[in-house]
Each structure stands twice: as structure tokens, then as C-alpha cells.
Structure 1
């Protein structure tokens, strides 16, 4: 087992402290650096050994989500690699929602800061949604559901879905009694967007 260095440990303590505080306040941009370091049990100057500013810390939170979600999706793909004809979309969606239940703080904060005051954090979230969409797009079982669709148009569909699923994941986390209904609604949205993108592309091809 690799033992994290003191530097890495301090960085993670700051991230965890910001998540704890923001999860209850629901506004990452309202946090103060001294408040975060106090929550982390570190001195105020320690913050700047790891992050430039609050937005830089926010981007670190988003990158952690990106890495964790891609890892979760990779596990699904590896577990189903031999099933070439499988519609993997329900499995990916369920895995993401289950991950959100286990990690509610970054999901709720990411959704609340999607239109927040920190530009770096907004841009970081957009980049993360695109990276996750690229990861999904790379699976041939996804791309074959949109035959003939150019990759950039496929990415547009997946990015719209990724953003919608982020917000629906908050409902999934906070409404345990409605999780099955939320999951089924999310699946319908996925199906409608895929079907719509395919139909529009087919129509445009006929016009050409």
C-alpha cells in the first residue's frame, strides 16, 4: 500500500474541508480560505502550498469527480466487454447514479456551481463533462446506436446528456424514495435524445 505524503494528505484535507462546508452552504464561491483551512485543521498559509485560489481548489474537486466517474464507467465496460450487442446505456447510467449516492458532496456542489460565480470552476465543469462524454463516445456499443452521425455531433448529444444527468443525479441523491422513477425518467431522456439525433441526421442526409 502506498502511503500518501504529507503534502498529498494536506491537499486532500483542504478538498474534503471545502466539500464539507460547501455541501451545507450550497455555494462554493461563498467560502473563505481561512474558513477552509480552519475546517481542515491547517494553517492559512498551507492553502497556498497546494492551490492558487478558491477556484483552483474547485477545479481540483471537479477533476477528482472526472477521474472517479471515468474509472466507474471503465469498470462497467470491462465487466461487459464480451457482450458486443449489449445496450450499455442503462448500466452506465445506473453506475453513475449509484456513484453519486456514495459521493453526494461533489455531485451536489458541481451541479450548484455549474452557473456559479467562479468562472474557472464553470469552465472546469464543462471540460469535465466533455471529457466524460469523449470516454463514453469511445465505446463502439454507444457509437453504433448513432450510425453515420459525425463524432462532433455525437459529442454534442452526449454533452447535453451529461449535463442533464448531473442535475438528475442530485434528485437521485436527495430523493431516495423516488430513485426508481428518476432512473426510468433519465433512461427515457437518453432514448429520446439518441432517437432525435439519429432522426435529424437521417433527414439532413436525405435533403443533401
Structure 2
């Protein structure tokens, strides 16, 4: 995605400032957006054909910011546990630092615009695919089949988004939410590893447990 600058960036940043607990992207008025951005209302249509197109650009802006940071962390990890720990810490830090962006993503997934709903579904799938392919390429869980890694990645992305608002709105529970998310991810991969073992191997493991 190309770098967003100028009037486009001002309008996106204005939308994120205006978003509250009770509003969605599609509820923002053009004059309100332009006023918050310090632009003439006619400027909007120089950059966007409709509010849906504007919403798609906002969602893309949010997704690229988050994915770039997560991608860098995964590439530095040398185990699936470290990858999950670093990714969880980064993503929840992003949620905390960017509550409006997070609110947009959570709300629009079930919002009134089918265009934005489909776009968010597509972005979630793309994030899960990127996560899975990185795990496979770096062999962080070599005992798990690729199709299972993709399945776990999809569940992980949705679980993290599901916990996003709790993390923002319940500061006293943030460390607990991060720990629970790490356990969720690690348990999924451990269970997948066990699924691939023979019955005799599982029995041998049980005998070794205290």
C-alpha cells in the first residue's frame, strides 16, 4: 500500500479522532470530517468517491501499521513461544496506544456497511495467511501440518480482535488478558502437535509426566 500523505492523511486522522464508543465510520458527516481535518468540505471528493471508499482507506491504513510491526517481531523470533509472546505484547500495546483505530476495526466487522465488513474479513484473512506462512517458512512449529497452522492463525487473529476492547476498557485486567492470549496461542499449537502423534507416543508422554 502506498504511503498516505496530505489531505488524505488529514481526513483519516480526523476520523480516528472523531470515533467514539457510539459511532462508526459510516456515521461521520463530510462537513464534520472536513472541519476536524481543517479542510474545505469539497476536498473530500478530491480524494474519495464515497464514504465507503474512505472507510476502506482508513481500514487499510490501520492494518498496514499493525502488520508491519508484527511482521518485524515474528522475523526476529527463534521459537513459536517467543513469536506469540512478542506479537501479543506488540498488538495489545498498539490497541492501548490507538483506541480509536481498534474501535473502528471491532465495530466495522459487524457494522452497517457490507463493503467495510467484507474488507475487514479480507484483511483478517490476509493477516492470518501472512502469520501462517511466516511460521511455516521459519519452521517455528515444524511438527504441525501447514493447513493446521493456517487454521490456528485464523483463530488467533480473531481471538486477539475479540479481546481488544476488553484490553482497552479494563486496565486492571491487561496483564491477565495478555497472559491468557499467549496461553490460547501456545495451547493451540501444542494440541496440534499432539494430534500428529501416534497413540503409543502419547502414552509414552503420559508415563513421563509427574
- Total equivalences in the alignment: 195
**2:59 is aligned with 1:59:** no
Task: Check whether the contact 1:146–1:194 (CA below 8 A) recurs between aligned residues.
Answer: no
Alpha carbons of 1:196 and 1:56: their partners in 2 closer, same or farther (altered >3 Å)?
A: farther
Secondary structure at 1:23 match in 2: coil
**TM-score, structure 1 length as denominator?**
0.80
**2:95 is aligned with 1:124:** no
Task: Check whether the contact 2:143–2:196 (CA below 8 A) recurs between aligned residues.
Answer: no
In 1, Cα distance between equivalents of 2:75 and 2:192: 27
Structure 2, unmatched stretches of 5+, are: 199-210
Question: How well do the aligned residues superpose, as a CA RMSD in angstroms?
Answer: 2.6
Which of 1 and 2 has greater Rg?
Answer: 2
Secondary structure at 2:46 match in 1: coil
Structure 1, unmatched stretches of 5+, are: 204-208
**2:141 is aligned with 1:145:** yes
Q: CA deviation at 1:9?
A: 1.5
| Aligned match of 1:11 | 8
In 2, Cα distance between equivalents of 1:48 and 1:196: 51
Q: CA deviation at 1:79?
A: 3.8
**2:25 is aligned with 1:28:** yes
From 103, 109, 116, the counterpart of 2:104: 109
In 2, Cα distance between equivalents of 1:106 and 1:118: 17
